[in-house]
Structure 1
Amino acid sequence: MDESLIQDMVTGSAPRMFAVVEEDEDETWVAAWGLVLEEHTEVISVDGDLRMSLQEPEGALDIFNAVDNIARLVWV
């Protein structure tokens, strides 16, 4: 297969990536990374202790906003 066709196929099917960014009164940090795939979203915390398979990226906010910090999605 032609290299440019392969590159187009890969680029066209690549998942969107985002970070779950948390902040409190003193600091801001990346808490997790996520990939939006064709039919679902995968999220893994930076420390590797939490993995989620979700229908929508915003579902990660339900988990990360459950603590006292404020979480938001930042698209890469």
Structure 2
Amino acid sequence: KPCAIGSVYQPSVKGIKFYATQGFTYSPKDLGVVGNDKILHIRQLEEAAFAYCHRTLSEATRSGIKASLASPTCLMGVYIP
């Protein structure tokens, strides 16, 4: 089945623009790579994720990320590109 948002299933993404939800939006925002234009710049995401994933847990939480989300933020940051 296609991905659902709530109880509404979304169409496939063939031949159309893909608007991401959940982890595809939270991690880039947490990493500060979504510009004022609301566009995700992949090169910036790669660089920010690389730097973020090399932080210790203490460094990540000092930057405002919840400890429980530190690892998923790294994972999604390197997974998306």
> What TM-score comes out, normalization by structure 2 length?
0.29
Question: Which has more helix, going by share of residues?
Answer: 2
The structure having more radius of gyration, on CA atoms, is 1
Higher percent of residues as strand: 1
